Amino acid sequence: MSDKKTADPSEIRPELAEVIQRHETTLDKARPKMVEQRRNRGHRTIRENIADLLDPDDSIEYGSLMLAAQQRRIPMDELIKTTPADGLVTKIGSVNGHLFDRSRTRCLVLGYDYSVLAGTQGMFNHKKKDRMLQLAYKHKLPTVLFAEGGGGRPGDVDTMEFIVAGLDCMAFAHYARLSGLVPVVGIVTGYCFAGNAALLGQSDVIIATKDSNIGMAGPAMIEGGGLGVFRPEEIGPMSVQSQNGVVDILAEDDADAVQKAKQYLSYFQGSIGEWECADQRLLREMVPEIRRRAYDVRKIIDTLADTGSVLELRPQFGVGIVTALVRIEGHPFGLMANNVSHLAGAIDADGADKVSRFIQICDAFDIPIVVLIDTPGFMVGPEAEKTAQVRHFCRIFTNAVNATTPIFSVVLRRGYGLGAQAMAGGSFHASDFIVSWPTGEFGGMGLEGAVRLGFRKELDAIEDPEKRKARFEELLAMHYEHGKAINMAATLEIDDVIDPAETRHWITVGLRSMPGPERRSGKKRPNIDCW
């Protein structure tokens, strides 16, 4: 009979107690003053944001016991209190697990902690990033970066005898390597400068709260370069960065930013089984009978898509074109549409850039594209050419034609010239189908211009202004009749003219008619342009 005492599974031995105690120092409850400061600034802590992003009880944290490399100048006890995780919280967990199979929800999160040395990039948290980003690449994990912070950290003195400039750091290269392999989301909820911004700018999509500031240099670097003294609020505010296209999605606050990140990721996780949509007959009245009257294309998008499924990207940039991720019968789609409320739907350089990059994102991850066309063509004139439009506009052709994801085009009203061809994927017959609503009208260029150019001599020869105008209207009516959607369908320049209420049917049946995406072990395309 053994006299050994039965082990008590609830007993905490000293070595375990030490580990538990150290882990507790990393939690928000160990730093109530920090939590209060975040609240006073209108933000949550990084751990609160990550907890909101990831599914409950389904994540693990890497490198939580790491501290700043400053033991030579700061006592260990103070470092433990003030530099938990060296200012970078990194986890792997599940996102949107309630909607999708768990194997499709795994995600890597990198979260800079602004309460630790202003969210700067220390030598050890660079090492942590390298470790985590290599795991993301190896296991093809969608990656979310909370990028709030001030860039490089000069105060890490422990490694000075081994490191001079640290420019052999691989974190930026590792992050860039994810482009086109997995969805990469950047989130900013405050100040984001220098190295933090250099990571952020590589993301597929940037989500930022309205009070954020983003810049490739913060106040210290600007002043050090002799370029003046600025407050951080003056550098890259959202009034600038949302309109120039840097920020894709503007959020009200931290909670809204995280919610939009979860929604964005969901489109790349697959289809959902439950959905609702508006009465599709409403589409029949959304394009006005009066041809020159503008209308709100976003109402058409909201009606066409599943209810509540529209997530618009870059709404304040390239405003002549709307780009959005949507669902139709639960299936994810990229949708782009001409906005006739701006330049009558003409495509300018910014709009072309916006569309081109959107096509890259959709194609990289096999998201089919729906195109709603109503454009008089591209912008013309000397001022337009000052924007390098020849190059910018042609990006649409090269990106669309070389994409292999399905493209389904629907002409709402005007399908004129090169602009309409570009929107349709490079040619009307480059689309996997192209149909028109009954309001469709077509021509090699705007019909008014075609009449003025083609019949100039005849019109100029008519001396009476009223008779000249009457003849112009007669010729124009003839061209409109010739360019009607029904005539386009009769010559198979488009595939059909449809009842607008049947648009969803065409899209969903069209998708089922396409072969599924190829199974790949690597990337479909080398990368997605940062711009």
Give the model confidence (pLDDT) of 298-327 as tens digits: 999 999 999 999 999 999 999 999 999 999
Q: Is 442's pLDDT higher than 60? A: yes
Mind listing the pLDDT tens digit for each residue in 247-274?
999 999 999 999 999 999 999 999 999 9
- Distance, CA of 325 to chain centre: 9
Give the DSSP letter string of 350-418: HHHHHHHHHHHHHHHTT--EEEEEEE--B--SHHHHTTTHHHHHHHHHHHHHT--S-EEEEEEEEEEHH
Residue 158 — very low, low, confident or very high, per pLDDT cuts 50/70/90? Answer: low
Among 120, 187, 111, 188, residue whose Cα is nearest residue 151:
120
Phi, psi (rounded to 5 degrees) for 224: -65, -25
- Which residues lie closer than 8 Å to 210 by C-beta, 6 or more apart? 238, 250, 251, 252, 253
The Cα–Cα gap between 218 and 135 comes to 30
The Cα–Cα gap between 531 and 528 comes to 8
Q: Is 2's pLDDT higher than 60? A: no
- Distance, CA of 394 to chain centre: 22
- Say yes or no: do domains 14-267 and 280-440+484-513 share a fold: yes
Owner of token pair 């975040």: 38
- Token code pair at residue 498: 């449809």
Q: What is the pTM of this model?
A: 0.93
Q: Is the domain defined by 14-267 classed in CATH 3.40.630.10?
A: no
Pick the CATH number of 280-440+484-513 from 3.40.50.740, 3.90.226.10, 3.30.565.10, 3.40.250.10: 3.90.226.10
Q: Domain coordinates of the chain in residue numbers?
A: 14-267, 280-440+484-513, 447-483
34 and 45 Cβ atoms separated by less than 8 Å: yes
Mind listing the pLDDT tens digit for each residue in 365-400?
999 999 999 999 998 889 999 999 999 999 999 999
Q: Tell me the three-class secondary structure of 408-457, residue by residue.
A: EEEEEEEEEHHHHHHHCCCCHHHCCEEEECCCCEEECCCHHHHHHHHCHH
What's the count of helices (H) and strands (E) in the chain, helices before strands? 20, 17
Mind listing the pLDDT tens digit for each residue in 116-155?
988 988 888 888 999 999 999 999 999 999 999 988 887 7
The predicted structure's pLDDT at residue 388: 92
The predicted structure's pLDDT at residue 160: 63
